[in-house]
Copies of this chain bind each other. A is one copy, B any other.
Amino acid sequence: MNAPDNSRIVYLDYAATTPIDAAVLEEMTGCLRESASYGNPSAIHIAGRRARWKIDAAREDLARLLGCSARCLVFTSGATEADNLAIIGAARFRAHRGRHIVTVSTEHKAVLEACAALAKEGWDVTRIDPDTDGLVSPEALADALRPDTQLVSIMHVNNETGVLQDIARLGRLCRERDVLFHVDAAQSVGKLPIDVGDWPVDLLSLTAHKFHGPQGVGALYIADRAGCGVVPLLHGGSQERRLRPGTPALALIAGLGAAARIASGRMASDLVHVRRLHDRLLGGLAGLEGIRRNGSVTSNYPGIVNISAAGVEGESLMLALEPVCVSSGSACNSQSGEPSFVLKALGRTDREAQAAIRFSFGRDTHADDVDFALRRYVAAVTRLRALAPGQAA
């Protein structure tokens, strides 16, 4: 009685987590099903060797996607751990040289709070504010760099707005000053071309579940060059070059490898598809007044579209959108009801931030899904505005 029928879900929350690819699932269930013949990869017996071989193959697959050597990749439990390992690990690695790090106020919490943890331990942290489009200018970064700066952490694609930073240019600035450069690429790996061989990047974080792999596994790329390294956060065991001990999760790592392999093959066509959906969504919103896109309209990943509508309250808008699954700001913020700090950094008011809706989509999204969401959104905004008192509009 009266529970909504949510059997038809329209899932437009790809930036939170993506549906797993069928081939990834197959790879994983294969490993899980034969878990006795794939043993603990540390063991020297045949089952252990099989597991180790699988892990090596997955590392190669991921290395191919990123354009790096497999040696440079450390598997982690996700981007949160990779971000922490990169930031806290690299800061400790370079502590003897100086204790200043630079980041941006619109980074993911995993980066900001890792920096905050370092601040408590005595590091100086500068948080650059991006411009109102969400972009970090090379000038702003140059201004923030100091002689004692050891690390800069700037994300590739913002998880709330889709804003895309000019990593190559920002990275060159870091190289010139011999500062390590960490990039949180959780939202771009597998979706946008990345070549760390070509990029002036020292550390790069990723997580499988944002590109059709499983939740609970990610990786940190650590450039193989002098002065670059991390001190581990976890201890025990010699796995992952001692940088990340613990029995490697074979099925997860194989799943990450498969997701990387698939992404290598279809990134270009996925991106064409996503761009079409993006244009369709924006086209459908063109008739609605009082709509504002949050983040840059020129430099973004098209699979994330963040929209604020004047005169509507966020929580009611979310309910009115059901069964369309979207986020209001970052997934991490959705439960607290707090206005998104990312949108506030872009100059939005509390109310604009709270009423922001993040549509995010990808490989498996149909034009129908976008159309359905559009109809719901336009109807919901119209209805809630009609209900609101004049001064709220």
Q: Which residues of B contact A112 (CB under 8 A)?
A: 236
| Complex CA distance for A164 and B235, rounded to whole angstroms | 24
**A351 CB to closest chain B CB, in angstroms?**
18
Judge if A135 is at the interface, Cβ distance under 8 Å: no
| Complex CA distance for A326 and B40, rounded to whole angstroms | 11
Q: Which residues of B contact A114 (CB under 8 A)?
A: 235-236
From B117, B236, B318, B325, A47 is in contact (CB under 8 Å) with: B325
Q: Which residues of B contact A48 (CB under 8 A)?
A: 13, 16, 325, 331, 334
Judge if A124 is at the interface, Cβ distance under 8 Å: no
Q: Which residues of B contact A111 (CB under 8 A)?
A: 236
* Chain A contact residues: helix, strand, loop or mixed: loop
From B36, B45, B216, A216 is in contact (CB under 8 Å) with: B216
Q: Which residues of B contact A237 (CB under 8 A)?
A: 80, 109-110, 113, 332
Judge if A9 is at the interface, Cβ distance under 8 Å: yes
B80 contacts A364, CB within 8 Å?
no
**This chain: copies in complex:** 2
Q: Please name the residue on chain B nearest to A79 by beta carbon.
A: B246
Judge if A250 is at the interface, Cβ distance under 8 Å: yes
| Complex CA distance for A325 and B25, rounded to whole angstroms | 27
B216 contacts A217, CB within 8 Å?
yes
- Given A19-B35, A235-B84, A235-B113, decide whether A325 and B252 contact each other with a Cβ distance below 8 A: no
| Complex CA distance for A46 and B323, rounded to whole angstroms | 7
**A346 CB to closest chain B CB, in angstroms?**
20
| Complex CA distance for A295 and B266, rounded to whole angstroms | 55
From B42, B84, B245, B335, A335 is in contact (CB under 8 Å) with: B42
B235 contacts A117, CB within 8 Å?
yes
Interface set of A (CB-CB < 8 Å, partner B)? 4, 6, 9, 11, 13, 16-20, 25, 28-29, 32-33, 35-37, 39-40, 42-48, 77-81, 83-84, 108-114, 116-117, 207, 209, 214-217, 233-238, 245-252, 318, 322-328, 331-332, 334-336, 364
Q: 27 A-B contacts, Cβ less than 8 Å apart?
A: A9-B37, A9-B47, A11-B47, A13-B39, A13-B43, A16-B43, A19-B35, A20-B33, A32-B214, A36-B364, A42-B331, A42-B332, A42-B335, A43-B325, A44-B328, A44-B335, A45-B324, A47-B325, A77-B249, A81-B234, A109-B245, A110-B234, A112-B236, A214-B249, A214-B252, A217-B249, A237-B332
